Amino acid sequence: MPVKDYSALAQFYSHLMKSIDYKKWANYIFEISRELKREEVSVLELAAGNANVSAHLAKKFSYILISDRSVEMLRQCQDLANSKVCFDMTEIPLKKKFDFAFSTFDSVNYLLTKEKFIKMLSEVHRVLNDDGIFTFDVSLEKNSLRYQKYLNRKGKYLGIKYRQQSKFDPKKRMHFNYFEITFADGSTVEEIHKQKIYEFEEYFRFIDESGFYVRKCVETFSWKDANRNSERAQFILKKK
Ligand SMILES: C[S@@+](CC[C@H](N)C(=O)[O-])C[C@H]1O[C@@H](n2cnc3c(N)ncnc32)[C@H](O)[C@@H]1O
């Protein structure tokens, strides 16, 4: 059955993320940007969802452009100082260049093929200034194994009932999140969120094929080097 109320659906997804400490996440992203050593920094956020991270960064940067491929998620954004644009991060329809680009919460794991991943890197490369920084986090196998235990849940929010099932397929290296959502009028939708859980080393190979190099790769929220047993790795890239 078609979804009747996308805005309720987007609010529902933001409810699911309510336990996330976005202030902490924003501070971490800000710390990464400080390497630019500049007063005025123009920022592009990719796959921003409803911009929970940028909401905490709006006062810290001179310009932030928020983007996501879902117009419904963008509609839920709090009013920020700058603009928002709906686009897919593998096809960035912009000419403007930025000093700093970032993406959070394993959004790049939604890029299901190597080709898509490298296309995303090349698009970000095109819109980044020569001395710019691009940072994103990735979810690794250990994170998938952990969350498939915890993200099996059901509940109710704004009259919407939901059931979530989280499953990692180690052979396909795919993580599936199944949602069954029942609206107040009894209509139901099923959504499957698919994420590719690439091997840690694969990211380095993808980046080698792009115009970037890995300046640092640390465990997200820390400055400790990441490895294949980390749950979440933070890539910090510069242009070659
Ligand atoms: C897990 S949510 C994270 C949202 C936000 N970054 C956060 O930290 O709350 C993943 C987001 O990625 C977006 N997304 C997935 N694939 C995308 C793509 N190819 N281009 C742009 N956005 C994408 C989805 O629409 C969704 O808003």
The encoded tokens of residue 112 equal 């299901």
Helix %, strand %, coil % of the chain (to 5):
30, 35, 35
The Cα 221–Cα 25 span in angstroms is 7
Q: What is the pTM of this model?
A: 0.94
- CATH 3.40.50.150 range(s) for the chain read 6-139+199-239
pLDDT at 1: 37
Residues of the chain below pLDDT 70? 1-6, 79-82
Q: Is 75 left (phi over 0), alpha (psi -120 to 50) or beta?
A: alpha
Q: Among 17, 68, 103, 115, which is best to mutate for testing ligand 1, by the most ligand atoms less than 8 A from CB?
A: 68
pLDDT at 6: 66
Q: Among 54, 56, 105, 110, which is best to mutate for testing ligand 1, by the most ligand atoms less than 8 A from CB?
A: 110
pLDDT at 14: 74
CA 17 vs CA 3, 38, 105, 126, 140: distances in Å: 21, 32, 10, 31, 19
- Give the closest residue to 101 by CA, choosing from 32, 187, 170: 32
pLDDT at 156: 87
> 6-139+199-239: what CATH class?
alpha beta
Q: Which residues line ligand 1 (CB under 6 A)?
A: 17, 47-49, 52-53, 68-70, 73, 88-90, 104-105, 107, 110
**Digit-coded pLDDT (tens) for 99-129:** 999 999 999 999 999 999 999 999 999 999 9
Neighbouring residues of 198: CB distance < 8 A, sequence distance ≥ 6: 109, 117, 138, 173, 206
- CATH 2.20.25 range(s) for the chain read 142-196
Quickly name the fold that domain 142-196 has.
Answer: N-terminal domain of TfIIb (2.20.25)
- Give the closest residue to 99 by CA, choosing from 66, 134, 65, 48: 134
- Give the closest residue to 135 by CA, choosing from 197, 43, 38, 52: 43
Number of residues that this document lists for the chain: 240
Pairing of strands 232-239, 212-219: antiparallel
The Cα 218–Cα 100 span in angstroms is 18
